[in-house]
Amino acid sequence: MSDTILFRTRVPTERLQKAELILKKMGLKPGDAFNMLLAQIELREALPFEVTAKPGSVLTSDEQAKAWTEAYGAY
C-alpha cells in the first residue's frame, strides 16, 4: 500500500452537497475527484483549467459540438 496523508479543508456545505450528488452519478466520491485533480496538477505541472478574473465566452451547443468533433472525431 502506498503512503497516504489525510488532507482536510473547509468548503461551503451547499457546494459539497451539490458536488456529491453530481459525483455520485459518476460513481465517484469527493475524495476520488480531489485525487484526480491532484493527479492532473502533477501531470501538467499546472492547474488543469485556466484561472482568470476575466470571464471567458460561453460556447453555444453548436460551437461545443463542432469543437468536440474537431478534437475527438464524430460521436
Model confidence, pTM? 0.66
Q: What is the dihedral of CA 67, 70, 73, 75, to 10 degrees?
A: 20
Q: Residue 1: its pLDDT value, please? A: 59
- List, for residues 46-75, the tens digit of each pLDDT value: 999 988 898 878 889 999 999 889 988 876
DSSP of 9-67: ----HHHHHHHHHHHHHTT--HHHHHHHHHHHHHHHTS-SS---SSPPPPPPHHHHHHH
pLDDT of 8-27, one tens digit each? 999 999 999 999 999 999 99
Side chain identity at 43, as an amino acid letter?
L
Return the pLDDT at 47.
94
Write the CB contacts of 52 (distance below 8 Å, at least 6 apart in sequence).
Answer: none
What are 35-49's pLDDT values in tens digits?
A: 999 999 999 999 999
pLDDT at 58: 85
